Homo-oligomer: A and B are copies of this chain.
Amino acid sequence: MENFVFQNPTKIIFGKGTETQVGAETKKHADKVLLHYGSGSIKKSGLYDTVVKSLKEAGVEFVELAGVQPNPRLSLVHQGIELCRKEGIKFILAVGGGSVIDSAKAIAVGVPYEGDVWDFYIGKAQVKEALGVGVVLTIPAAGSESSPSSVITNEDGWYKRGLTTDHIFPRFAILNPEFTYTLPNYQTACGAADIMAHIMERYFTNTKDVELTDRLCEATMKTLINNVPKALVNPTDYAVRAEIMWTGTVAHNNLLGTGREEDWASHAIEHEISGIYDIAHGAGLAIVFPAWMQYVYKNDVARFAQFASRVWDVDYNFFNPEETALKGIQKLKEFFSSIGLPVSLREAGIDDSRLEEMADKCTGSDTYTVGSFVKLNKKAVYDILTLAK
């Protein structure tokens, strides 16, 4: 086990009817906020009205900025920054999924910074302060509701880049699983792939002696795998939706990565796909992860066999662990297929004309690498994308 620091200050308020607490909870942090959301699905579901009523009752003023898209855009972040500055706003309330939260976090770090907020996403500057962010979550997927991360897409070149800083842990996150009842099945599935990926990015590590976190990862993956198919059949099963929603937070609140080197190559590769083709992040991960596994599993057959056995209940072949390992990868691929996700670029309608461009953008040069379980250079990323064709 490696040395680590773990702290996650986000206050989680979970369960039925909890959205009515948003006003009182926000009031603890600010009297005037930016109310940030997406395309308006929160108006259809009635959540918007509930939030507005709760804010008003608590005496919280708000200015609205709607229009966050999946793979949230830098241009809207710039608008949000200007708006907050003009209105003297010190707190952002994000109502929606990971894209809305990530956009809110970008605005939060951008407001007190003199330069372009994009500097933080390309490592040109370090975050020193940020506005507070609160969340009402509607999609279990990104884990952004209690993570220190944000991913933004710069339309100028379609670069998708991430930022991680303790300054952007949300102050609170309100999670009512009932608001996930109306998610289209495809979006539930994409969310599941994202959650699964967050765990697998931590699970596949070269760090030795990480039994507790291995087992916690496996527990979380098993719960997800058990519940997602049920949600697709019965979208209004509260128990099932609650398991998925809490799993999404636990997957990405940093606990499962304590003491272990994490990988994140698959996320980096996926960012190039959804950055260019604007497909759902979860769909991109369902394509990349099995290909990545096929490329790297020989680096630690025992770990992949453990994954197959403990997570997928594959019968362990004592005489041929590699067979067990490969069956686990196959099971993952079948699972993604079974919940309606693409598991190849072709299934997502993406041809092979820009594989090299993506490999190049991902690694930036022949010598720069991504990932840590196996360090991948441009050639390796290209090969993985080829396996994903």
Contacts and interface: CB of A to CB of B under 8 A. Distances in A.
A15 interface: yes
Interface in A302-320: none
Nearest to A9: B9
A258 interface: yes
Contact of A5 (B4, B13, B222, B223): B13
Interface residues of A, number: 40
Copies of the chain in the assembly: 2
Contacts of A3: 14-18
Q: Output the residue of A1, A212, A223, A247 with the most chain B CB within 10 A.
A: A212
A114 interface: no
B220 A212 contact: yes
A126 interface: no
Contact of A223 (B7, B11, B15, B215): B215
B4 A14 contact: yes
Contacts of A243: 1, 209, 211-212
Contact of A6 (B12, B212, B247): B12
A122 interface: no
A350 interface: no
Interface in A185-227: 208-209, 211-212, 215-216, 218-220, 222-223, 226-227
Contacts of A13: 5
A239 interface: yes
Given A7-B9, A8-B8, A11-B5, A215 B211 contact: no
Contacts of A9: 7, 9
Contacts of A226: 211
B212 A223 contact: yes
Contacts of A7: 9-12
Q: Output the residue of A3, A13, A222 with the most chain B CB within 10 A.
A: A3
A250 interface: yes
Contact of A222 (B4, B215, B258): B215
A242 to B, nearest CB: 4
A216 B220 CA distance: 7
A259 interface: yes
Given A212-B220, A219-B212, A247-B212, A15 B4 contact: yes
A255 interface: yes
A9 B171 CA distance: 11
Interface string A225-256: 01100000000000100110011001000010
B246 A1 contact: yes
A209 B12 contact: no
A123 to B, nearest CB: 25
Contacts of A227: 211
B14 A5 contact: yes
A166 to B, nearest CB: 10
What 7 A-B pairs have minimum CB-CB distances, sorted nearest first? A3-B15, A215-B219, A209-B239, A7-B11, A219-B219, A212-B223, A6-B12
12 contacts: A1-B243, A1-B246, A7-B10, A7-B11, A8-B8, A209-B242, A209-B243, A211-B243, A212-B250, A216-B216, A246-B259, A255-B255
Interface of A: 1-18, 208-209, 211-212, 215-216, 218-220, 222-223, 226-227, 239, 242-243, 246-247, 250, 255, 258-259
